[in-house]
Amino acid sequence: MKKIFLAAAIMISGALGAQAQTSLGIKGGINVATIRPLYEPNEPRIGAHVGLFASTPISGRFALQPELLYSQQGVETDRYTYTYHYLNIPLIFKGTLSGGLHLQVGPQFGVLLASNRKEGKSSLDITESMNRYDGALALGLGYDVAEWQISARYNFGLSDIRETKNGDLNLGRGDNLTNDVFQFSLGYRFR
């Protein structure tokens, strides 16, 4: 996993190194998150994401957009509310379809900052029961208008979020539990 983060850091540094073409920006928005598979009745956890991005053209129709995002994720069941705080690093490849409309695809790497399970007014820190690293495949659509960027993205979780199959995170039936997150974002590029 350390090699993946090193590769991500190198790609971000490379993108930032091409300052003549690279535009930096800020973005934020709403997360609609859940966990897959989940065998008990549940509702998505609504959260937020906020962070920075750098967009570097690769060719006329393609660009690389690494991002650094703080992201609130989780799920709500009948009994508990699970909240996860991640620092996510999506490495998004953008392909222009028409005008400002573009397709977004790429890997996302996450580092768990904190997590808790809330029941009523009591809250339990479950960070030690969680896998510190998370991986996902991001797929979405975006639209660029001047300095503004609007996007809708689905992050399909690939790695088990639990450190162990038992303990404080007793969801599922021994299966791998993964984060699934819909993100709706608004970004602003500094030119």
Which structural domain, as residue segments, surrounds residue 167?
2-190
User: 3-state class of 166 per DSSP?
Assistant: coil
User: How many CB atoms sit inside 10 A of residue 173's CB?
Assistant: 9
Tens-digit pLDDT profile for residues 160-189 = 888 765 554 555 556 788 899 999 999 999
Q: How many domains does the chain have?
A: 1
Tens-digit pLDDT profile for residues 96-129 = 999 999 999 999 999 999 999 999 889 888 988 8
Can you give the CATH number for the domain in which 35 is found? 2.40.160.20
* Residue pair 135/108 in contact by the 8 Å Cβ criterion: yes
Q: Look up the pTM and report it.
A: 0.83
